[in-house]
Structure 1
Amino acid sequence: MTRDELQEKIVAILVDEFEFENPGLTDNLRDDHGFDSIDAIELLAKIEEMIGFQISRKEKEKAMSIRTINDILDYIETIQAAHKS
């Protein structure tokens, strides 16, 4: 899946599931959209469905530094690359 395809899917999830309005790639998810830790857990589950494999505990811990949609995209690309190795 290309980065553009990932972006399209993540933005759709944020709009449809988390009721974001016009999310920008560099918006701070928490400050600009009220995204909290429960939302983050739900999003990780959606990401697992999207990529087709479970994210390890160690990989989930790395998600704690995510602040923007660009961070989400970087995160997904990183874990996908690790699972291809």
Structure 2
Amino acid sequence: MTRDVMQEKILTILVQDFEFQEPGLDDNLRDDHGFDSIDAIELLGKIERILGFSLTREEKEKAMEIRTINDILDYLERIQQGRAQ
């Protein structure tokens, strides 16, 4: 899946499911949109559905570093690259 496709899917989820208003790729999820740890867990579940597989514990732990939408996209690319090897 390309970054553009992932971006479209993530933005759709954030707007429809988390009620983000005009999210910017470099917005801080917590500070700019009130995203909390419960939201993060829910988003990880939706990411697993997008990817079509369950994330490992290690992959989920790496998600704790995410602060922006661009971070989400970088995270998804790393997971896809790691699984492709």
Is the TM value for this pair above 0.5? yes
SS in 2 for 1:18: coil
Matching residue of 1:82:
82
Residues 17-46 of structure 1 show CA distances to partners (whole Å, capped at 9, x for unaligned) of 000000000000000000000000000000
Partners in 2 of 1:84 and 1:38 — Cα distance? Answer: 29
- The root-mean-square deviation of aligned C-alpha atoms, in Å, is 0.4
SS in 1 for 2:53: coil
1:77 is displaced (CA, Å) by 0.5
1:84 is displaced (CA, Å) by 1.0
Matching residue of 2:11:
11
Q: Is 1:57 aligned to 2:57, yes or no?
A: yes
Matching residue of 1:26:
26
1:6 is displaced (CA, Å) by 0.5
Partners in 2 of 1:40 and 1:52 — Cα distance? Answer: 18
Partners in 1 of 2:54 and 2:80 — Cα distance? Answer: 11
Partners in 2 of 1:80 and 1:45 — Cα distance? Answer: 16
Matching residue of 2:42:
42
Q: Which amino acid aligns with 2:13?
A: I
4+ runs deviating over 6 angstroms? none
Partners in 2 of 1:62 and 1:73 — Cα distance? Answer: 13
How many residues are treated as equivalent by the alignment?
Answer: 85
Q: TM-score, normalised by structure 1?
A: 0.99
Identity among equivalent positions (%) equals: 71
